[in-house]
Amino acid sequence: MIHTRFDLAYPGFALNVDLQLPARGITALFGPSGSGKTTLLRCIAGLERTTSGMLRMQDEVWQDGANFLPTHRRPLGYVFQEASLFSHLSVRRNLEYGLKRIPQAQRRVQLGQAVEWLGLGNLIERSDPASLSGGERQRIAIARALLSSPRLLLMDEPLSALDTQAKRDILPFLERMVQQAGVPIVYVTHAPAEVERLADRVVFMQKGCIDRIETLKQALSRPDSPLFSDGGCVSVIEGRSGQQKHGLTSFHVGEHCLWLGNPIHAASAGRPQRLRILAKDVGIALTRPEDTSLLNILPVTIQSIDLVREGHALLGLRLSDGQNLFAEITAWSRDRLALHEGLAVYAMIKSVALAE
């Protein structure tokens, strides 16, 4: 358990947080800019020096009032928005910086492991980190943080400074690192897609306070979730990618199979992954349509029907393996098809993509 309580007042901003988190998995701190996510993360790291806070990491007290463990004595890793590599050190020396500073017996991550997880094999001998791309630098920064064998990894919008392609490239590495390193992570972001792809639970923040804490499933099951802003409701479906066929990649969800247009990154093949499906991209048929160009059709049961906006109905659907899927259709279609709760129908998914 991580238990933290902070009461800070800066000019024009106050942080008022009392938070308990399980020390495992990925916790996303989600909220608009200025909501205090980064400040909270810096407080946890001890980078904001406060005398009015409390932080207990499992059985260790990191701070309590005037009793303040300085940052360098807290066994944590921190990944900043910009990679913040040491420009005077080679890639290898950057990676070794934290590694060298912990006793041999406490090293739980070896250089070779971190290099493999983050795909740094051909970068490690580079001497000038400034000449690398943003995505490469950020991967090095993540590996550098992991190599200090942290008991808690803090990540402050690690992808926000990257362009779309770099983000897409780094996400599989991040996923693999999360699964293999097994270190609890607190992940600050304002991008719903990153939460949907990575998080186990979400702490919603607003104006320096915590709105609510939910598991990702809970957060995605209510139509008014703050995660749904651009593009409406989103469902996240977990599954495993399989072979390539007809220029598409198969993706197994329970006993069913979906087809993905985009190829799966080598780093994530065969691992559990999450698909992100917009409710607007899901249509409903009463019988299995046979003569259609749509490839992804799943049998589902209607769980709920809500009116979300003028003339539109949001259907909560359940897949055969219990996962939830949203479909947004017009109210007229709902009436025409006489849809009601408990009805077994087919969900036709127009567009399927990995969450990114």
Partner 1 sequence: MESSFSAADLSAVWLTFKLATTVTLILLLVGTPIAWWLARTPSRWKAPIGAVVALPIVLPPTVLGFYLLITMGPHGSIGHLTQTLGIGILPFTFAGLVVASVFYSMPFVVQPLQNAFEAIPERALEAAATLRASAPDRFFSVALPLAKPGFLTAAVLGFAHTVGEFGVVLMIGGNIPGQTRVVSVQIYDHVEAIEYAQAHWLSASMVAFSFVVLLLLYTFNPTKRK
Please give the residue ranges that form the binding site for partner 1 (CB under 8 A): 45, 47, 70-73, 76-78, 80, 82, 84, 86-89, 97-98, 101-102, 141, 144-145, 148, 154
In the complex with partner 1, the residue whose CB is nearer, 144 or 276, is: 144
Q: 240 Cβ partners below 8 Å, 6+ apart?
A: 251, 252, 270, 271, 272, 273
- For residue 184, the minimal CB distance to partner 1 (Å) is 16
In the complex with partner 1, the residue whose CB is nearer, 98 or 172, is: 98
- For residue 88, the minimal CB distance to partner 1 (Å) is 4
- For residue 315, the minimal CB distance to partner 1 (Å) is 46
- For residue 27, the minimal CB distance to partner 1 (Å) is 18
- For residue 134, the minimal CB distance to partner 1 (Å) is 15
- Which ranges constitute the DSSP H helices of 91-163? 91-99, 111-117, 134-146
The SS3 call for residue 161 is coil
Q: Provide the residue type at 153 as one letter.
A: L
- For residue 156, the minimal CB distance to partner 1 (Å) is 11
- What is the maximum alpha-carbon separation in the chain? 71
In the complex with partner 1, the residue whose CB is nearer, 97 or 259, is: 97
Q: 222 Cβ partners below 8 Å, 6+ apart?
A: none
In the complex with partner 1, the residue whose CB is nearer, 140 or 284, is: 140
In the complex with partner 1, the residue whose CB is nearer, 82 or 200, is: 82
Say how far apart CA 65 and CA 301 lie, in whole Å: 53
In the complex with partner 1, the residue whose CB is nearer, 62 or 228, is: 62
Spatial contact of 186 and 44, defined as CB atoms under 8 Å apart:
yes
Cα pseudo-dihedral 304, 308, 310, 311, rounded to 10: -30
